[in-house]
């Protein structure tokens, strides 16, 4: 006996459902944009902060940033925002030249510290090996600082900005002033590899500037220069002093070319950037 089948009624049939298209991948559900961005930005910041805290550098960074903040406030009061920003950048680039050369020589050095109306400075925990290395360390600041001022000048020319040219002029002037051959200025430390006798005309030049344009900064530098010159004069007969100032002829020639060549280029730079300015 053959089985009988009952056909379903029309209302019992299920509606037709088309098959889903085949996918070879699972669709990615994007997260909200700001959360994803915040996570990516915060992760490296948190890692860097943890590293700084672990090694105790965060306190040093705080002092460094505080010195910039205080100096920036003084310079804004003195000449406005553009003057303050330009001067801070120029001083930082100059001092980083010293830092990089000190690191290259293996010397323990601090980061630049800014002092209002005195500029910026670095501290060495050990002295260079001899006058040749001292001269290289001294000239590295004005060389890199002059390159920074030249970069600002070229941007000023491209943008036809007298303000940027004036800031470049300030940079050329700062680096040229630092080449006066008296310690503690960079020129005095470079002159140690040329001949200590350069310190005397440097002292006379600084004294003439004090008479011509007296101000507290020049007087303070003149005071320190006189004390340092006296100290080195008293040490002139010591055997260690003779060894320190013993420089090879090619080393003396290299310092002379760098020193006088840079001074000439800085004078030309000041001439090219001489525009009306109000600081």
The pLDDT score that the predictor gives to residue 57 is 44
Q: Answer yes or no: is 277 within a domain.
A: no
61-to-53, 55, 108, 112, 113 alpha-carbon distances in Å: 11, 12, 17, 11, 10
Helix or strand run (H / E) with residue 185: none
Q: Answer yes or no: is 59 within a domain.
A: yes
63-to-73, 96, 108, 241, 244 alpha-carbon distances in Å: 15, 17, 18, 35, 34
Q: Give the residue numbers spanning the domain of 55.
A: 41-272
> CA 213: distance to chain centroid?
29
Residue 50 tokens read as: 């943890």
Q: Answer yes or no: is 279 within a domain.
A: no
Q: Answer yes or no: is 14 within a domain.
A: no
pTM (global) more than 0.85: no
Q: Answer yes or no: is 18 within a domain.
A: no
The pLDDT score that the predictor gives to residue 115 is 79
For residues 87 and 163, the answer to whether their CB atoms sit within 8 Å is: no
Q: Answer yes or no: is 32 within a domain.
A: no
What's the rounded Cα separation, in Å, for the pair 28 and 224? 69
Q: Answer yes or no: is 36 within a domain.
A: no
The pLDDT score that the predictor gives to residue 21 is 52
Q: Answer yes or no: is 86 within a domain.
A: yes
CA nearest 277: which of 157, 170, 176, 175? 170
Q: Which residues of the chain have pLDDT under 70?
A: 1-64, 275-279
Residue 230 tokens read as: 């006296």
What is the number of structural domains in the chain? 1
Please state the φ and ψ torsions of residue 116, each to the nearest 5 degrees: -55, 135
Report the chain's mean pLDDT, rounded to a whole number.
Answer: 78
Please report, in angstroms and rounded to a whole number, the separation of the first and last CA atoms in the chain: 116
Helix or strand run (H / E) with residue 105: none
For residues 142 and 178, the answer to whether their CB atoms sit within 8 Å is: yes
């Amino acid at each position: 006996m053959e089985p009988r089948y009952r056909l379903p009624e029309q209302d019992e049939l299920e509606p037709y459902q088309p098959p889903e298209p085949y996918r070879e991948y699972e669709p990615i559900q994007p997260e909200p944009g700001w959360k994803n961005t915040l996570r990516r930005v915060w992760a490296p910041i948190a890692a860097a902060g943890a590293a700084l805290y672990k090694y105790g550098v965060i306190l040093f960074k705080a002092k460094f940033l505080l010195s910039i903040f205080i100096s920036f406030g003084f310079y804004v009061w003195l000449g406005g925002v553009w003057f303050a920003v330009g001067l801070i950048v120029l001083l930082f680039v100059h001092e980083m030249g010293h830092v990089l050369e000190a690191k290259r020589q293996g010397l323990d050095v601090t980061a630049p510290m800014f002092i209002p109306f005195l500029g910026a400075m670095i501290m060495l925990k050990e002295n260079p090996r001899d006058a040749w290395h001292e001269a290289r360390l001294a000239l590295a600041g004005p060389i890199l600082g002059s390159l920074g001022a030249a970069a600002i000048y070229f941007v000023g020319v491209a943008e036809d900005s007298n303000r940027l040219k004036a800031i470049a002029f300030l940079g050329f002037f700062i680096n040229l002033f630092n080449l006066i051959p008296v310690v503690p200025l960079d020129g005095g430390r470079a002159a140690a590899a040329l001949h200590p006798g350069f310190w005397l005309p440097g002292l006379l030049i600084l004294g003439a500037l004090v008479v011509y344009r007296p101000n507290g900064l020049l007087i303070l530098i003149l005071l320190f220069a006189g004390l340092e010159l006296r100290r080195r004069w008293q040490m002139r007969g010591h055997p260690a002093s003779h060894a320190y100032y013993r420089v090879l002829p090619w080393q003396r020639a290299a310092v002379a070319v760098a020193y006088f060549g840079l001074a000439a280029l800085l004078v030309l730079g000041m001439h090219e950037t001489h525009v009306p300015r109000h600081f």
